[in-house]
């Protein structure tokens, strides 16, 4: 299953805001379309945003000037604009930086050559993401035992990446290994219900035993000894191992720690931001109040004049994380030392 397609130099994406009721594919024709798709969460998931953004820049180049000096200036502005779509997921900036570096290396050539270089880099980012998903699954599958009951939060599968996913890729691999002898609990993940709408949809498609629970059910389920492990993703991981993920993750981590349940974060190397010393420096996106006041932007569940606090993410301190599963290996405490050892240096 894939949620973006790049064919004959045209970019298509599955509009995730319409799932699970409809499977609607749209075409991204220019930078404006791409910005809107990312901002409105029609395309979401940290790794997928990066891949999609790279392709968006590539297809938009044909609309830029044929004069190199103007072309390069317009390209720089396009990168800046797309990078402002969402501030927390570092994969977006990682992918755009790779595009920028590729273009800079080719800037002595003509505009036509630069366009080709940017497109090749976008394709490379796409292929790499698929491979990273496979490697994360291979690294993490050994952490799951037959019969495990696993809690996950938000969505981390093929709707969040261009491969099998991050945390869900690990779960998919375990389900295959144990012939579905496990159970996955998907938090609904308010306010946009990515767990209920997207994770449950992916699990259903793969026929993996699962149940959707309200976000506020997780702790009582842990207390009843109904959860063995927690697996979820991240949008940005600081140098000390603090991890930003969908709002509500922090609460799950606290409950898991109290009940002595292993809590695993699964993310590729591109999600690590070693320029940040801790999670306190991670920018947290504030989103439209109507996402809380309404369900699916349709059904009002709060007074229209109600004030709303709607951060898209929270930060889980490293002491609540049992281990971080990356494509390069499993990272355990002390994180500041071991992240450098496993991930190495990173440009972000």
* Distance set, CA 296 to CA 155, 256, 293 (Å): 16, 29, 10
Active site residues: 235
**Total Cβ atoms within 10 A of residue 179:** 8
Closest CA to 40 of 4, 58, 16: 16
DSSP state of 311: B
DSSP state of 145: -
CA distance 99 to 120: 10
Closest CA to 247 of 316, 161, 156, 322: 316
> At 264, is the secondary structure helix, strand, or coil?
strand
Q: Are 315 and 250 in contact (CB under 8 A)?
A: yes
* Distance set, CA 252 to CA 83, 118, 189, 232, 348 (Å): 30, 40, 11, 10, 28
Rounded to the nearest angstrom, the gap between the alpha carbon of residue 158 and the centroid of all alpha carbons in its chain is 10
**Total Cβ atoms within 10 A of residue 304:** 9
| Residues recorded for the chain | 348
Extended strands (E) in 43-182: 149-152
Rama region for 306: left / alpha / beta (φ>0; ψ in -120 to 50; rest): beta
State the Cα angle at 326 between 95 and 53, rounded to 5°.
Answer: 15
Enumerate the β-bridge partners of residue 331. 324
């Amino acid at each position: 299953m894939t949620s973006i397609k790049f064919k004959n130099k045209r970019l298509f994406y599955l509009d995730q805001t319409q799932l699970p009721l409809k499977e609607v594919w749209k075409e991204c024709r220019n930078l404006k379309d791409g910005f809107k798709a990312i901002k409105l969460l029609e395309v979401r998931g940290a790794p997928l945003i990066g891949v999609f953004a790279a392709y968006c820049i590539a297809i938009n180049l044909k609309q830029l000037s044929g004069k190199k000096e103007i072309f390069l200036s317009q390209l720089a502005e396009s990168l800046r604009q797309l990078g402002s779509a969402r501030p927390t997921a570092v994969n977006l900036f990682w992918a755009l930086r790779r595009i920028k570096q590729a273009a800079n290396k080719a800037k002595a050539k003509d505009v036509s050559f630069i366009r080709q270089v940017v497109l090749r880099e976008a394709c490379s980012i796409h292929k790499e993401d698929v491979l990273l998903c496979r490697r994360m699954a291979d690294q993490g599958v050994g952490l799951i035992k037959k019969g495990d009951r696993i809690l996950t939060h938000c969505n981390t599968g093929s709707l969040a990446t261009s491969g099998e996913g991050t945390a869900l890729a690990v779960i998919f691999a375990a389900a295959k290994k144990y012939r579905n002898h496990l159970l996955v609990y998907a938090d609904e993940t308010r306010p946009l219900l990515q767990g209920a709408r997207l994770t449950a949809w992916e699990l259903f498609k793969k026929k993996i035993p699962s149940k959707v629970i309200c976000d506020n059910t997780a702790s009582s389920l842990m207390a009843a000894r109904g959860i063995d492990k927690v697996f979820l993703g991240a949008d940005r991981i600081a140098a000390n191992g603090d991890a930003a993920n969908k709002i509500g993750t922090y609460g799950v981590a606290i409950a898991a720690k109290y009940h002595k349940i292993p809590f695993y974060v699964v993310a590729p190397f591109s999600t690590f931001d070693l320029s940040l010393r801790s999670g306190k420096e991670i920018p947290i996106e504030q989103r439209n109040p109507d996402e809380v006041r309404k369900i699916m932007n349709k059904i009002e569940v709060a007074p229209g004049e109600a004030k709303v606090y709607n951060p898209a993410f929270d930060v889980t301190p490293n002491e609540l994380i049992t281990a971080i599963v990356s494509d390069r290996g499993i990272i355990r405490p002390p994180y500041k030392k071991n992240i450098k050892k496993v991930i190495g240096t990173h440009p972000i």
